[in-house]
């Protein structure tokens, strides 16, 4: 297995698997695989845009009775983080207000379609950018309209991503009144140095006070993002973040090694020599394992490769919707998802790419999902694949076990990822899937 050059997120895994499938189809002379929009080539984009099926055609259909979600994208931030190269723009009062009006129109126009009216939504996820950056006034217009435009299923999950400073008391009240029950806050670090290096607002003490205020005023799940291995981070900084998480008793934490994305402020500073920063996978592994093992000792458990939760306090159903190939209605500029099995990506307000369902890509998406949650069960893996034996999978898992990445559980016959296995989890998934694809050639 390739152990240098770590894949740090499920996006890396999906990109590597898409590439392996494209290579396979290239070898067999078959049509190129239609990848997710973020990895699409311009030829694929043109082909998808030439698809005669329109978004409105899909919304005229009635879906089967499966769980489904809605993803709303808001591509603006009022403060740009030093590590970020995502698709977002600096907000101004005008562009935000105009976008809020656009979203009001979008929800008004979809609310009467057969697709939206046919059954309730189990999961809503608002991402960005910073979806909570809208003004109190625009929030007070948009969220009640959303609530009227669609039905929420019993036990629904509705997440809004946010920064700390964008969460006003007024917005928290509107969120709660309308059914938002999960916040995902990009804290990244509770230390002064970390917040400054990563371009976050306020110092560590302010961040901790603000978090406590939000926690006291919002009844739902409050999840955070945390970054480790940032330039200048010492062991002591990491220990302080571990201590603050314990004191604040946080429900759920997504933890990432800092990625230096081309085009970000940090990347530019490193390239120009203004910032000296180099790290190895071994350094990353030590920081990861120290954090992960401390969290396990505090009673957290692994939910997926980069997420730990206090038992019963965050089910994160959104990730199931994505990996189970359920429909995820995308709305807003830059939103991608799936409608009636078709991949849909809104490039902007005028242009939408639609790609037809791809059975093989969906099967591998299911497999990527299965491998994200920390349990490797040979029978379950083999059941997703056609033409490959249980023994073939079992041999690969035994190899990972010998390398100390998996350990066998007495309870259910599954193998569990060790701390090193969690660290290398995306590489394991890519390695296993590449070997499966090769064996099926
Ligand atoms: S808030 Fe999120 S999207 Fe906006 S700049 Fe920071 S990391 Fe990027």
**Among the atoms of ligand 1, which is closest to the Cα of residue 128?**
3
Query: What pLDDT is stored for residue 27 in this prediction?
Result: 65
What residues does ligand 1 touch, defined as CB less than 6 Å away? Answer: 77, 80-81, 84, 86, 88, 128-130, 163, 186
Q: Whose CA is nearest to atom 5 of ligand 1?
A: 80
Ligand 1: centre distance to CA 239 (Å)? 25
Domain membership flag for residue 338: no
**Is residue 223 a contact partner of residue 284, using CB atoms and an 8 Å limit?**
no
Q: Write out the DSSP string of 361-406.
A: HHHHHHHHHHTTSSEE-HHHHHHHSSS--HHHHHHHHHHHHHTTSE
Q: Could you read off the pLDDT tens digit of each residue along the chain, which spans 441 residues?
A: 766 688 888 888 888 888 888 887 776 554 443 333 333 445 555 555 546 789 999 999 999 999 999 999 999 999 999 999 887 899 999 999 999 999 999 999 999 999 999 999 999 999 999 999 999 999 999 999 999 999 999 999 999 999 999 999 999 999 999 999 999 999 999 999 999 999 999 999 999 999 999 999 999 999 999 999 999 999 999 999 999 999 999 999 999 999 999 999 999 999 999 999 998 999 999 999 999 999 999 999 999 999 999 999 999 999 999 999 999 999 999 999 999 999 999 999 999 999 999 998 899 999 999 999 999 999 999 988 877 788 999 999 999 999 999 998 777 778 999 999 999 999 999 999 999 888 886
Domain, as residue range, for 291: 62-320
Same-domain pairing of 269 and 374 = no
Residue 384's CATH number: 1.10.10
**Is residue 342 a contact partner of residue 327, using CB atoms and an 8 Å limit?**
no
ipTM of the complex: 0.99
Domain membership flag for residue 54: no
**Among the atoms of ligand 1, which is closest to the Cα of residue 129?**
3
Q: Whose CA is nearest to atom 2 of ligand 1?
A: 129
Q: Locate 127 and state its tokens.
A: 């991402």
Domain membership flag for residue 50: no
Instruction: Kindly give the pairing relationship between strand 342-346 and strand 336-339.
Output: antiparallel
Same-domain pairing of 70 and 167 = yes
Same-domain pairing of 424 and 300 = no
Domain membership flag for residue 40: no
**Is residue 138 a contact partner of residue 96, using CB atoms and an 8 Å limit?**
yes
Ligand 1: centre distance to CA 133 (Å)? 11
Same-domain pairing of 315 and 372 = no
Domain membership flag for residue 349: no
Asked which of 255, 288, 320 is the last residue of a domain, the reply is 320
Query: What pLDDT is stored for residue 200 in this prediction?
Result: 95
Ligand 1: centre distance to CA 128 (Å)? 8
Domain membership flag for residue 388: yes
Asked which of 320, 349, 377 is the last residue of a domain, the reply is 320
Same-domain pairing of 203 and 294 = yes
Domain count, the chain: 2
Domain membership flag for residue 133: yes
Same-domain pairing of 265 and 398 = no
Residue among 286, 294, 205 at smallest CA distance from 243: 294
Q: Locate 289 and state its tokens.
A: 């394992």
Query: What pLDDT is stored for residue 32 in this prediction?
Result: 40
Same-domain pairing of 137 and 247 = yes
Q: Locate 66 and state its tokens.
A: 């499966």
Residue 300's CATH number: 3.20.20.70
**Under 8 Å CB-to-CB from 47, ≥6 apart: which residues?**
none
Indicate the top mutation candidate among 85, 130, 183 to test ligand 1's pocket, ranked by most ligand atoms within 8 A of CB. 130
Same-domain pairing of 125 and 186 = yes
Ligand 1: centre distance to CA 80 (Å)? 6
Same-domain pairing of 159 and 297 = yes
Same-domain pairing of 316 and 402 = no
Same-domain pairing of 197 and 108 = yes
Domain membership flag for residue 372: yes
Q: Locate 372 and state its tokens.
A: 């994200």
Query: What pLDDT is stored for residue 33 in this prediction?
Result: 38
Cα 250 to Cα 247, 267, 277, 423: the distances in Å are 8, 31, 30, 22
Taking CB atoms within 8 Å and a gap of at least 24, the contacts of 400-408 are: 400/1, 400/376, 400/428, 403/1, 406/376
Same-domain pairing of 7 and 85 = no
**Among the atoms of ligand 1, which is closest to the Cα of residue 88?**
3
Cβ atoms within 10 Å, residue 355: 24
Asked which of 290, 305, 320 is the last residue of a domain, the reply is 320
**Among the atoms of ligand 1, which is closest to the Cα of residue 79?**
5
Ligand 1: centre distance to CA 413 (Å)? 41
Instruction: Kindly give the pairing relationship between strand 301-304 and strand 307-309.
Output: antiparallel
Q: Whose CA is nearest to atom 8 of ligand 1?
A: 84
């Amino acid at each position: 297995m390739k152990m240098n050059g770590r894949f740090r997120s499920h996006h890396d895994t999906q990109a590597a698997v898409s590439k392996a499938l494209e290579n396979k189809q290239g070898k067999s002379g078959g049509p190129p695989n239609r990848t997710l929009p973020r990895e699409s080539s311009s030829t694929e984009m043109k082909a998808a845009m030439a698809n005669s099926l329109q978004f409105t055609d899909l919304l005229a259909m009635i879906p089967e009775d499966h769980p489904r979600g809605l993803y709303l994208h808001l591509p603006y931030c009022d403060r740009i983080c030093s590590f970020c190269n995502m698709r977002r723009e600096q907000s101004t009062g005008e562009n935000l207000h105009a976008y809020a009006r656009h979203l009001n129109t979008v929800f008004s126009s979809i609310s009467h379609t057969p697709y939206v009216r046919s059954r309730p939504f189990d999961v809503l996820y608002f991402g960005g950018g910073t979806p909570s950056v809208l003004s109190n006034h625009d929030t007070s217009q948009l969220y009640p309209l959303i609530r009227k435009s669609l039905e929420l299923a019993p036990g629904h999950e509705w997440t809004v991503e946010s920064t700390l400073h964008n969460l006003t008391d007024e917005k928290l009240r509107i969120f709660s009144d309308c059914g938002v029950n999960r916040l995902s806050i990009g804290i990244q670090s509770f230390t002064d140095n970390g917040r400054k290096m990563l371009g976050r607002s306020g110092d560590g003490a302010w961040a901790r006070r603000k978090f406590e205020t939000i926690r006291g005023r919002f009844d739902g799940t409050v999840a955070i993002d945390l970054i480790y291995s940032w330039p200048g981070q010492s062991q002591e900084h990491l220990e302080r973040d571990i201590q603050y998480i314990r004191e604040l008793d946080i429900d759920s934490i997504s933890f990432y090694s800092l990625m230096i994305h081309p085009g970000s402020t940090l990347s530019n500073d490193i390239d120009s020599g203004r910032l000296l920063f180099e790290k190895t996978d071994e350094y990353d592994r030590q920081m990861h394992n120290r954090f992960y093992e401390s969290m396990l000792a505090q009673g957290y458990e692994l939910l997926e490769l980069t997420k730990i939760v206090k038992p019963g306090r965050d089910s994160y159903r959104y990730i199931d919707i994505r990996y189970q190939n359920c429909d995820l209605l995308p709305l807003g500029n830059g939103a991608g998802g799936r409608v009636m099995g078709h991949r849909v990506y809104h490039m902007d307000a005028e242009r939408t790419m639609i790609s037809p369902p791809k059975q093989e890509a969906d099967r591998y998406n299911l497999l990527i999902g299965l491998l994200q949650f920390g349990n490797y069960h040979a029978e379950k893996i083999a059941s997703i694949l056609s033409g490959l034996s249980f023994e073939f999978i079992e041999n690969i898992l035994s190899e990972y076990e010998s390398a100390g990445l998996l350990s066998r559980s007495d309870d259910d016959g599954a193998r569990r990822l060790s701390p090193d296995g969690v660290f290398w989890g995306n590489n394991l998934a890519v390695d296993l899937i590449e070997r499966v694809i090769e064996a099926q050639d």
